[in-house]
Amino acid sequence: MNTINFLEKYQKSTQRNYLQRVIEHDKAACASVATQWGQDYWDGDRCYGYGGYHYDGRWKAVAEDLIRHYGIQAHEKVLDIGCGKGFLLYEMQQLLPGLQVHGLDISHYGLRCAPQPVRSHLVEGNAVSLPWADQTFDFAFSINTFHNLRNFELKAALLEMQRVGKSDRKWLCIESFRNEREKVNLLYWQLTCRTFLDTEEWLWLCREYSYTGDLGFIFFE
């Protein structure tokens, strides 16, 4: 199990005011709206989530990095668990015409807003139960989704991600922390987290539940 963060260079370009997130709005009320995963979360006011999540090509560089690192080929099958609006899958398919992309997300609104070329390959559902047969995918990944599960759901989700993949070509990206400052910043900034674990706890959990892919951590420095 290797640790690699394909998002780090892009995340550091974003400036966040952690205290403002808590002081200016009723954080609990905002979180209640965000966890409905509807239009407010994706395209409503910034206090509820993304503040407008539209296709702008930002995921192309990440798609290139994933394809390069994992040697993904045009004839293979790829799964995104927690795909949101499917923008990353769309970029991967544009880079590799013929790539068979599939995605799952809990948000009906998000899936409905996906780019037309990939929309029919996305399904609504939960990471704890994936509607695909064993060893269906050549590469499976999940970005910023598993920390939104409750701790008693993580075993099922990790086992499911492991089950549907053909090999160790997997990447799981989650929000975490290495020290007290990053933990506090995560608590201030997050709206949808249910499981707050430091990096060692995530590593232990993945080993405990036999996940053999790679890990990526998002930190709030």
pLDDT tens-digit series, residues 147-180: 999 999 999 999 999 999 998 999 999 999 999 9
Is-contact 84 105, C-beta < 8 A? Answer: yes
Instruction: Give the 3-state DSSP-derived string for 46-70, with helices as H, strands as E and coil as C.
Output: HHHCCCCCCCCCCCHHHHHHHHHHH
Q: How far, in Å, CA of 130 to CA of 204, rounded?
A: 23
Q: How far, in Å, CA of 128 to CA of 155, rounded?
A: 8
Is-contact 122 83, C-beta < 8 A? Answer: yes
Q: Name the band, by pLDDT with cuts 50, 70 and 90, for residue 23.
A: confident
Helices (H), 81-126: 87-95, 108-112, 116-119
Q: What is the pLDDT of residue 119?
A: 97
**Main-chain phi, psi angles of 80, to 5 degrees:** -115, 115
* Domain assignment present for 1: no
What CATH number does residue 46 fall under? 3.40.50.150
Q: Give CA 3 to chain center in angstroms.
A: 16
* Domain assignment present for 201: yes
Q: How far, in Å, CA of 35 to CA of 160, rounded?
A: 23
* Domain assignment present for 3: no
- Count H helices, E strands: the chain? 11, 6
Q: Which of 131, 126, 132, 141 is nearest to 194 (CA)?
A: 126
**Residue pointed to by tokens 């090999």:** 167
pLDDT at 181 over 90: yes
Domain count, the chain: 1
The widest CA-to-CA distance across the chain, in whole angstroms, is 50
pLDDT tens-digit series, residues 80-98: 999 999 999 999 999 999 9
Is-contact 31 100, C-beta < 8 A? Answer: no
Q: What is the pLDDT of residue 14?
A: 66
How far CA 41 is from CA of 20, 35, 108, 165, in Å, comes to 18, 8, 12, 30
Domain of residue 97, residue span:
8-218
Considering the entire predicted model, what is its pTM? 0.95
* Domain assignment present for 133: yes
